[in-house]
Structure 1
Amino acid sequence: MTLTPQVADFAKRSILCWLATVDEAGQPNVSPKEIFAVFDPQHLVIANIASPTSVRNLAANRHVCVSFVDVFVQKGFKVVGTARNVRPHEPDFSQWAAPLQAMAGPRFSIHSVIVVSAEGVEPILAPSYRLYPDDTTEASQVAAAMQAYGVQKRTSA
């Protein structure tokens, strides 16, 4: 499965993605990433802003899992594949970094770009969608999440 427009939409709606890597001893590491994007139908790009453990793990094992969820509708996607760390001195760095630099602006320095080649994509759904399909809608999930987080919809000014 490729990174479809629906996957890209959920990536844009997600505040963080979670990058799972494994070190040389098999110890997993899951790390939040704030600057990420679907680059094309086969690749995700993630900014290495402060990710020494993720980068070190990628040098030992290129297999990764990335997940992102819209916390309000409680749906998202899991992407599995392999990744490589592209550093600024490499010729294709600018290409991979372009969408991330626009997101990072002057606030964050991008030390490298983690380029994930997607090999599989699966949906992530809150259990309510499966356990109570007749009662669970995106609207009901949004309402429940807004109540749980203590937030309200913005009113037009």
Structure 2
Amino acid sequence: MRDITADMEAIVERAILSFVATVNADGTPNLSPKASLTVVQGVLYFADIASPATVTNLKRNPAVDINVVDIFERRGYRFKGRAQVLAPGDAAYSMIADRVRTMNGPEYPVDHVVRIETTSITPLLSPAHVFADPPRSQDEIRRTYYRKYGVKPESGGA
């Protein structure tokens, strides 16, 4: 299993929304947005709140690809790995389900929790990082995209 660094964990927490790709029975891709992706003790997990196709796919073929990008920093990570679907009664299931319900409310269904064994982690960088000449600082990029999206940081932001 590949190590999840503090920076990777911070991007997962800040980005909030991630995208999980699995493989349908007919070989076509299934892409599902997730707002429950989290890192606990260096391991990626997400909750099955409304993802029956994702879980069905993972039970048949545990290959998974997850993309997480901080839209303001224009960078993130791609996590590839093997998924394990956890059911109620599993300690990790309870930990993640409790977390989801604490954040979103007790009415949120958590049918399963998915644990990811990461086999590959690669950085995702937008052209804003790659092609700028001269290179722009992370603060410049963040300010540019706050303006582009019409967002004002709450406090302490650039």
Q: TM-score range by the shorter chain?
A: 0.7 to 0.9
SS in 1 for 2:4: coil
Shift of 1:58: 0.7
How many correspondences in the alignment? Answer: 155
CA positional deviation for 1:107: 4.9
Q: Which one-letter code corresponds to 2:79 in the other structure?
A: V
2:41 and 2:82 map into 1 onto residues whose CA distance is 15
TM-score w.r.t. length of structure 1: 0.87
Which amino acid in the other structure matches residue 113 of structure 1?
V
Q: Where in structure 2 are the equivalents of 1:8-157 lying within 5 Å?
A: 8-41=9-42, 43-90=43-90, 92-132=92-132, 134-154=134-154
Displacement after TM superposition at 1:120 (Å):
1.1
Contact 2:47 2:96 in 1 (8 A): no
RMSD of aligned residue pairs (Cα, Å):
2.0
Distance in 2 between the 1:133 and 1:40 partners? 38
Identical columns (%)? 28
Q: 1:90 to 1:152 in 2, by over 3 A?
A: closer
For residues 126 and 11 of structure 2, what CA distance do their matches in structure 1 show? Answer: 14
Give the Å deviation of 1:24: 2.1
Supply the distance in 1 between the matched residues of 2:92 and 2:28 (Cα, whole angstroms).
30
Distance 1:74 1:107 in 2: 34
Instruction: State whether residues 16 and 33 of structure 1, in contact with CA within 8 Å, keep that contact through their aligned partners in structure 2.
Output: yes
CA deviation vs aligned residue, 1:55-88 (integer Å, no higher than 9, x gap)? 1111221000111111111111111000021111
The Cα of 1:30 is off from its aligned counterpart by 0.9
Q: What CA distance in whole angstroms lies between the structure 1 residues aligned with 2:20 and 2:95?
A: 21
| 1:133 to 1:100, Cα distance in 2 relative to 1, 3 A | farther
